[in-house]
Amino acid sequence: MFPDKLKYTKEHTWVKVEGNVGLVGLTDFAQSQLGDIVFVELPSVGEEVEYMSEFGVVESTKTVSDLYSPISGEVLEVNEDLFDNPEIINEDSYDDGWLISVEMNDHSELDLLMSSDEYQEFLKEEK
C-alpha cells in the first residue's frame, strides 16, 4: 500500500527520487480520504517549489485540499493527463497519478521525510 522506494510527508505527499529528479504525488491514503477527485491545480513547468510549501490544489466531491511539496526545486514536468482526467489519482496514485517532477535543489531535505514504515506508524497515530 505504501511503496518502500518512496519518501512521505505528514501532509500525505510522496517523492520518488532518481538522480537529481524527484517525482511527486499524493499518497493512496490521501486520495482514499478525499474521495472522487474532480479537479487538480498544479504549477507550471519552470516554476520553483519549496520544501513543505503549497504547490497546488486537489478538489474532490468532499473537499478542497492544498498540496505540499516534499522537496525544493524547479518543476521539470507536470502530469497534464490529470487536467482532463483527475480521477487517475484515485485509480493509481503511485504511478499514472503522479503530479509533478522536480529538479531537486537540496538532497538533505529527503532526510526530513518519512520512510514507508514511518508513514504507516504516523497514520496509526493520527487515527
120 is a domain residue = yes
- Structural domain span for residue 65: 23-126
What are the C-alpha distances in Å from 71 to residues 40, 57, 88? Answer: 19, 17, 23
Say whether pTM exceeds 0.75: yes
**Res 88: pLDDT:** 98
53 is a domain residue = yes
Q: Domain with 42 in it: what CATH number?
A: 2.40.50.100
16 is a domain residue = no
Give the number of domains in the chain: 1
**Res 107: pLDDT:** 95
**Res 121: pLDDT:** 96
pLDDT, averaged per 10 consecutive residues of the chain (127 residues), comes to 93 97 97 97 98 98 96 98 98 97 97 97 90
The answer to whether the CB of 116 falls within 8 A of the CB of 2 is yes
88 is a domain residue = yes
**Res 61: pLDDT:** 94
CA atoms within 13 A on the CB side of 72: 10
- 59-93 pLDDT per residue, tens: 999 999 999 999 999 999 999 999 999 999 999 99
7 is a domain residue = no
9 is a domain residue = no
Burial class (CB in 10 A: 0-12, 13-18, 19+), 113: buried
107 is a domain residue = yes
The answer to whether the CB of 25 falls within 8 A of the CB of 40 is no
29 is a domain residue = yes
